[in-house]
Amino acid sequence: MGLIMGGSVGACLGCLIGFYSTMKFGPGPRGYLGTIGQYALGSGASFGFFMMIGSCIRSDSNSLLSVEDKALLKANMDRWKAPTPKPVAFYMAKTSKTE
């Protein structure tokens, strides 16, 4: 997941930097599209690589929690869970009783 997010953010930044660079210094021998694409791929690959490593490190830290800590985190997450919506028939029955 970190690779996809980092790659897309890096590619967007690379496009912006590549566009600025080609407007300031010219496209060079590869042309406009080739130069901007090279910036986008290079930036996306490097940023995606580091985001992938960071997400792996972050997700591996869950195994260090004790059983009590995991239960406490699950209880706190369940507290903020949104209630499931009622079926449409429930609301239709309410409106027909009031009329």
Q: What is the mean pLDDT of the chain?
A: 83
Q: What is the DSSP letter of 65?
A: S
Q: What's the confidence (pLDDT) of residue 94?
A: 64
Percent of the chain with pLDDT over 70: 89
pLDDT mean over 36-52: 92
Q: What is the pTM assigned to this prediction?
A: 0.55
Query: 20: alpha, beta or left, given left = phi > 0 and alpha = psi -120 to 50?
Result: alpha
pLDDT-derived band at 43, boundaries 50, 70, 90? very high
Asked if pLDDT for residue 98 goes beyond 60, the answer is no
CB 9 within 8 A of CB 50: no
How far is residue 94's CA from residue 65's CA, in Å, rounded to a whole number?
47
